[in-house]
Amino acid sequence: MTWEILQTVSRLAVTALTIVALTRYRHMFIRIERLGLGFMGGCGILTIGVIWEQDHSPFSGWIPTLFTLGAALFLGGLLHRKGKHENANATAVEEARRHLIERGKL
Q: What is the pTM of this model?
A: 0.83
pLDDT tens-digit map of 1-58: 889 999 999 999 999 999 999 999 999 999 999 999 999 999 999 888 888 887 677 7
- Pair 50, 60: CB distance under 8 Å: yes
Give, in degrees to the nearest 5, the angle at Cα 74 between 2 and 65: 55
pLDDT at residue number 48: 87
- What is the separation of C-alpha 9 from the centre of its chain, rounded to a whole number of angstroms? 19
